[in-house]
């Protein structure tokens, strides 16, 4: 599948930029010029200006690989936000020659397995409410289509990408948001428990992954592009 993409140019190592679910390559318009490398941002299948297609992780990685070949990006760094961060981990696992990969708060879905929340006695009730919110949103979203959003929500890798990250052998950085997105007040403890679960599990499941916390919400790419760019640039330089 031929993806829509934008070459931001720039000097330095090649960098592939992968947006989050429901986003598109414009997510990188502010951040990309601040990165020290030649940045190419893509629209994943079913997003932005790219064609629709069934969501299969290997097929999506094939799409991205074809894009890298088209632009002549040999062994690029891969930087992804949210869903794109999960894909960055998958790319790095597939390409042991990759110089490095970065996930910007892409790790576990907010609605994940109850065992992935830490320090909260009642997980079932708030989790059911959160799932109901996501279901209602899914019915209103037109792009990506419902087939893709449904496939993502049912995917074990989307629910918890830590086992994917554990298989990465190249340098890998996870930037973890320290603030919650706006949610109903009764869901704040669930979101806090989600983050506590990540802090608990990352050193155990993914000792190979470097973790850097950023004082922002999940929307860190939009909220703090200069800080995020500095973190990515430092990782690439090292």
pLDDT digits (tens, 9 = 90+) for 170-226: 999 999 999 999 999 999 999 999 999 999 999 999 999 999 999 999 999 999 999
Domain CATH number, residue 127: 3.40.50.1820
Task: Single out the residue of 41, 35, 33, 31 nearest to residue 4, CA to CA.
Answer: 41
Residue 138 has pLDDT above 90, yes or no: no
pLDDT surpasses 90 at 139: no
Report whether pLDDT(101) > 90: yes
**Res 28: pLDDT:** 98
Exposure letters 153-171 (e unless 16+ CB within 10 A, then b): bebebbebbbebbbebebb
Question: Is residue 137's pLDDT more than 90?
Answer: no
Kindly state the percentage of the chain with pLDDT values over 90.
95
- In tens, the pLDDT along 154-167 reads 999 999 999 999 99
Residue 118 sits in which domain range? 5-237
The whole-number pLDDT of residue 31 equals 97
What's the structural domain count of the chain? Answer: 1
């Amino acid at each position: 599948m031929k993806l829509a993409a934008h070459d931001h140019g720039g000097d330095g190592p090649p960098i592939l930029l992968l947006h989050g679910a429901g986003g598109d390559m414009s997510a990188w318009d502010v951040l990309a010029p601040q990165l020290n490398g030649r940045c190419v941002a893509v629209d994943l299948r079913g997003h932005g200006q790219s064609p629709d297609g069934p969501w299969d992780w290997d097929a999506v990685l094939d799409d991205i690989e074809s894009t890298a070949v088209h632009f002549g990006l040999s062994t690029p760094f891969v930087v992804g936000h949210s869903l794109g961060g999960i894909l960055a981990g998958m790319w790095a696992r597939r390409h042991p020659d990759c110089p490095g990969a970065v996930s910007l708060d892409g790790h576990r879905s907010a609605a994940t397995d109850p065992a992935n929340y830490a320090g909260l006695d009642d997980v079932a009730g708030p989790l059911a409410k959160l799932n109901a919110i996501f279901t209602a949103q899914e019915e209103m979203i037109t792009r990506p289509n419902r087939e893709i959003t449904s496939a993502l929500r049912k995917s074990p890798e989307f629910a918890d990408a830590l086992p994917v990250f554990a298989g990465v052998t190249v340098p890998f950085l996870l930037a973890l948001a320290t603030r919650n997105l706006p949610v109903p007040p009764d869901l704040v403890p669930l979101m806090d428990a989600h983050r506590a679960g990540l802090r608990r599990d990352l050193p155990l499941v993914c000792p190979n992954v470097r973790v850097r916390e950023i004082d922002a919400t999940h929307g860190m790419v939009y909220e703090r592009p200069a800080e995020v760019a500095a973190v990515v640039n430092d990782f690439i330089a090292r």
